[in-house]
Chains A and B, each alone.
Chain A
């Protein structure tokens, strides 16, 4: 009766102590935060006396995990972007044209002349002048297909080739589209991460959501518009063969070609082949520099594949112009003077030094493979977040005080035990939150306040039960024992059902709602732990010392 093994006692207190230890850094939030930032900076390779000093300001043997503050408390920007995965299909399918053209030209004797037909963006239509040979031509084109390199569609080809009368229709296969989508989103995610890292802000969240969405949360940034500028600026560098030059933006460029305006010559338009010779994706480096006239410029270097393509192209096309295109504007269109073999080059234009620096950064980070549509954006100012924290803190303290007083008035000594457990409980929630790196949001604070209210429930259940058992006068020790035993099923059932809803909230909800689910769920775990083990242990210890003949609950 009323016995708890020593090892259990030690374990219970150890868990409490550990929880409080983990929670402690949060009491010195700013100090620990400065220290953590300094440590992170030193790890990144920075150094300096001030950093060393800051890093040493918090003893390293103490835990330094902090509860992350959500955007609604810290202020910052939140964006939900949808990657326009279909954008890539067009580029992908168009890049097939030179290959198909060269292939079919070799067979001119049998299939006749070939011609690219106008078509929707995601397919390629090639008309041949000998309709009788259409099947042979289609077979040739099918020979270009490659197996898709994804697990699910391993046996499928990347292109579907069909025939319609005298026309060959080439489309990306479904498997290839899926694989492309996957690649596009991964690439976009990586590029967004790099761009945000270049700016260097604290703890950005960049997450994939669903098949084609990316969630971006950056604390401390001024506005969502600023964030969009950082990630939305494209720098898509491509090199195209030039077909012609003109001054009419409306003229038809012809199938397989595009018309782009010149960047610095007003009213000049270039007609270029849509399929680029090389793209910025094959760049390995870009640096701001100066050209031979001392004008700001950007020098770049290709990777081996890019260098080879570029070298082959320049060798074959000496004397013809090619266009350097940046975000669908022609930066310059020099005439190829010689075979450029080294795989490096320089972009000149009317740039300022600052522009070349930015351009180099953007080129290094790589271009977004597809456009982004912003579905949701939120900016929360830091003042509002601070107001919320202050209000939440006061509310928590008042709620806490009210519950403590009420419990003491209702249950006396036992109420006091419950109160100590309640304080431990809140400490444990913070400890757990710090440990798992959870995020505290405004609804999360509400979750804690709710837990304060509900945490006493398990204790109330037990105490009421002990009161009842005392009525049947079995003696205090037996009554306490029975009280815990009989209240247990109600405590478990009640908390498991609430826990189920917390789990569902966590799984289905997003952002602030998820923050609420976390604190609610953790609160249930800690309150059951404190009620079943901690208060019980305190009561047992008290009972062992006093050995009261009667107790009053």
Chain B
């Protein structure tokens, strides 16, 4: 029986022939991401900057200017109204998202505001229904940003320590460099495309961290094995060999994960589309970075080769418990 093979058998590709090129591309992308982040900023959802979002549903065609005319007299400051289109909607389903900025001088959420907006919209579109209304006060949103940032840093820190214990510190740095690369590029994409960045995206970011790591660790595991097997081989050769040997698995896993995620992206509805997009992007970037970034950093840092002498780095005493 013929097997589907995404990667030819026994590849001997040289992944380090042009290290400057790959590191250059990644570096440039990261700089671009940061520039975009600092100039344009993220399109924070209400989770992070407070305010109210109202999701409306009506059988009538949406005329955004009518909606705006109804809400503007209330004087609520910055109000964005966007119509949402999605293939999963019924034909007579017209959905909008209305976002109202956090109101000055109030720590909490005002029930009157929501009532006023709903009443105003009802006069323009009588059959409108409010399928979800979410408000977050400025006090909580500030804390949410803080806990989110802590979560991401904690995750990266914990992983750094785990890999350091299981491998060597050079591996840990390589893995974390790849992680930071992935997180920065993901944030860059969100700021460049102005996709709404909310609490769920933090979950996606952390999953990307987990996924990218998964990939990196599999490659590193093979590197560790090959370092012992081929004691005389050049580190670069060992890395190349390891990446080639695991390449088939790397691609297979990425493809199955992408298959699952893409079906969710297309069919899962608009509510989680941003979230799924982040993960799809993360899987692609994560796969790339575990091959090109993590290993390249490892190559730059070098690795202790002589395993016969007792190590004084303290790092590998846990390394071999079940290999």
A residues apposed to B, CB below 8 Å: 72, 80, 82, 223-225, 228, 373-381, 383-384, 387-388, 391-392, 394-396, 398-400, 402-403, 406-407, 409-412, 442-443, 445-446, 449-450, 452-454, 456-457, 460-461, 464, 467-468, 486, 488-490, 492-498, 500-502, 504-505, 508-513, 516-517, 520, 552
Is B162 a contact partner of A450 (Cβ separation < 8 A)?
Answer: no
Is B264 a contact partner of A492 (Cβ separation < 8 A)?
Answer: no
8 more contacts with CB within 8 A, not counting A400-B260, A446-B276, A500-B210, are A392-B269, A410-B5, A411-B3, A457-B253, A493-B166, A498-B213, A509-B202, A516-B203
Known: A376-B140, A494-B217. A446 touches B268 (CB 8 A): yes
Is A392 a contact partner of B268 (Cβ separation < 8 A)?
Answer: yes
Q: Does B233 contact A (CB under 8 A)?
A: no
Question: B residues within 8 A CB of A446?
Answer: 264, 268, 272, 275-276, 279
Question: B residues within 8 A CB of A399?
Answer: 259-261, 263-264
Is B3 a contact partner of A505 (Cβ separation < 8 A)?
Answer: no
Is A377 a contact partner of B134 (Cβ separation < 8 A)?
Answer: yes
Q: Does B145 contact A (CB under 8 A)?
A: no
Is A375 a contact partner of B140 (Cβ separation < 8 A)?
Answer: yes
A-B contact pairs, 6 of them (CB 8 A): A402-B260, A411-B3, A449-B261, A505-B155, A513-B203, A520-B210
Is B4 a contact partner of A384 (Cβ separation < 8 A)?
Answer: no
Q: For chain B, what secondary structure do more than half of its interface residues adopt (helix, strand, loop), or is it mixed?
A: helix
From A376, A383, A467, A488, give the contact of B109 (CB < 8 A).
A376
Known: A374-B137, A403-B260. A497 touches B214 (CB 8 A): yes
CA distance A488 to B217 in the complex (A): 12
CA distance A72 to B272 in the complex (A): 11
Is B206 a contact partner of A505 (Cβ separation < 8 A)?
Answer: yes
| In the complex, per-residue mask of B244-263: 1 if CB is within 8 Å of any chain A CB, else 0 | 01101100110111111101
Closest chain A CB from B113 CB (angstroms):
11
Question: B residues within 8 A CB of A379?
Answer: 130, 132-134
From A374, A456, A492, give the contact of B322 (CB < 8 A).
A492
From A381, A383, A450, give the contact of B257 (CB < 8 A).
A450
Is B211 a contact partner of A409 (Cβ separation < 8 A)?
Answer: no
CA distance A513 to B148 in the complex (A): 11
CA distance A402 to B262 in the complex (A): 10
Is B159 a contact partner of A384 (Cβ separation < 8 A)?
Answer: no
Question: B residues within 8 A CB of A509?
Answer: 147, 151, 199, 202-203
Question: B residues within 8 A CB of A494?
Answer: 213-215, 217-218, 221
Question: A residues within 8 A CB of B322?
Answer: 488-489, 492
Closest chain A CB from B21 CB (angstroms):
28
Question: A residues within 8 A CB of B323?
Answer: 488-489
CA distance A72 to B248 in the complex (A): 39
Closest chain B CB from A453 CB (angstroms):
3
Closest to A553 in B: B3
B interface residues, how many (CB within 8 angstroms):
79
Question: A residues within 8 A CB of B271?
Answer: 72, 384, 388, 442
Closest chain A CB from B264 CB (angstroms):
4
Is B218 a contact partner of A374 (Cβ separation < 8 A)?
Answer: no
From B134, B158, B218, give the contact of A461 (CB < 8 A).
B218
Q: Does B200 contact A (CB under 8 A)?
A: yes
| In the complex, per-residue mask of B102-140: 1 if CB is within 8 Å of any chain A CB, else 0 | 000001110100110000000000000111111111011
CA distance A464 to B242 in the complex (A): 13
Q: Which of A377, A402, A445, A510 has the most CB of B within 10 A?
A: A377
Is A508 a contact partner of B154 (Cβ separation < 8 A)?
Answer: yes
Chain B residues 5-35 with CB under 8 Å of chain A are 5-6
CA distance A449 to B283 in the complex (A): 14
Closest chain B CB from A387 CB (angstroms):
6
Is B264 a contact partner of A449 (Cβ separation < 8 A)?
Answer: yes
| In the complex, per-residue mask of B62-74: 1 if CB is within 8 Å of any chain A CB, else 0 | 0000000000000
Question: A residues within 8 A CB of B248?
Answer: 464, 467
Closest chain A CB from B51 CB (angstroms):
11
Is B132 a contact partner of A378 (Cβ separation < 8 A)?
Answer: yes
Question: A residues within 8 A CB of B227?
Answer: none
Q: Does B150 contact A (CB under 8 A)?
A: yes
Is B155 a contact partner of A468 (Cβ separation < 8 A)?
Answer: no
Is A384 a contact partner of B218 (Cβ separation < 8 A)?
Answer: no
CA distance A11 to B148 in the complex (A): 41
Is B264 a contact partner of A395 (Cβ separation < 8 A)?
Answer: yes
From B131, B166, B245, B253, give the contact of A454 (CB < 8 A).
B253
Question: A residues within 8 A CB of B6?
Answer: 410
CA distance A409 to B252 in the complex (A): 12
Closest chain B CB from A481 CB (angstroms):
16
Q: Does B88 contact A (CB under 8 A)?
A: yes
Closest chain B CB from A307 CB (angstroms):
39
Closest to B213 in A: A497
Is B200 a contact partner of A443 (Cβ separation < 8 A)?
Answer: yes
From A378, A410, A411, A489, give the contact of B133 (CB < 8 A).
A378
Is B137 a contact partner of A375 (Cβ separation < 8 A)?
Answer: yes
Is A373 a contact partner of B135 (Cβ separation < 8 A)?
Answer: no
Q: Does B196 contact A (CB under 8 A)?
A: no
CA distance A501 to B255 in the complex (A): 22
| In the complex, per-residue mask of B203-227: 1 if CB is within 8 Å of any chain A CB, else 0 | 1001101110111011001100100
Question: B residues within 8 A CB of A493?
Answer: 166, 217-218, 221
Is A375 a contact partner of B136 (Cβ separation < 8 A)?
Answer: yes
Is A464 a contact partner of B252 (Cβ separation < 8 A)?
Answer: yes
Query: Lowest 3 CB-CB distances: which A-B pairs, in order?
Result: A453-B257, A453-B260, A391-B269
Q: Does B94 contact A (CB under 8 A)?
A: no
Is B221 a contact partner of A489 (Cβ separation < 8 A)?
Answer: yes
From A445, A453, A468, A489, give the contact of B259 (CB < 8 A).
A453
Is B115 a contact partner of A225 (Cβ separation < 8 A)?
Answer: yes
Known: A378-B132, A384-B131. A498 touches B211 (CB 8 A): yes
Q: Does B39 contact A (CB under 8 A)?
A: no
Closest chain B CB from A400 CB (angstroms):
8
Is A381 a contact partner of B131 (Cβ separation < 8 A)?
Answer: yes
CA distance A443 to B279 in the complex (A): 12
CA distance A433 to B209 in the complex (A): 24
Known: A460-B249, A496-B162. A403 touches B256 (CB 8 A): yes
